[in-house]
Structure 1
Amino acid sequence: MTSFLTPEADLFSVWHLGIPDVATDGWSLTLGGAVARQLTLSLDDLRALPQTETTSVHECAGSPIAPSIPPATGGKRPPGRSCPQRPSPPRRAG
């Protein structure tokens, strides 16, 4: 291992529902709900904000083949579960 980070070209990526084709003209993000004041930002507004880099890990969000795994829990996973549990392959006698 030569680096803490895996180069993007070496990543394994899966898009279960495809990559959306989003028209950026007129696109906006609205922050609302439990906030003092609703805020709507255009893509240009977001791009004008200060940029920050963060090293992070994205874990899977479930299985599109078995969408009930994990069970619906209001957007929360049971404690200690990050991805659907799959049986381990059998170990070879050695």
Structure 2
Amino acid sequence: MPRKLNLKKQFAQLMDLPPEAVINSALIKIVGNLEISISNHRGLVEYTTTAIRVASPQGVIAVSGAGLVIHYLSSDEIKVGGRITGVELQ
């Protein structure tokens, strides 16, 4: 692990902060197969009812499913509902 990244993780632990807040990474929360939220995203790449692709610091996060709907979208968070069948980092 690069020294700079390790120092950031140690700082996050010391300050009792979540690691994604310090190391600039996406945070993905999945609720069953019905909902997914992605924090720290970099924008919407694609949106259909069967596929949603979101840019992140690590690459593109691809969500596949049926009846996908964006419930919430802000500059740093997106929440998607529907029947989620897959999540992939591309």
More helix as a share of residues: 2
Q: Report TM bin, short chain.
A: under 0.3
So what's the TM-score if we normalise by structure 1? Answer: 0.20
Larger Rg: 1
Length-normalised TM-score, structure 2: 0.21
Q: Which has the higher contact order (CA 8 A, sep 6+)?
A: 2
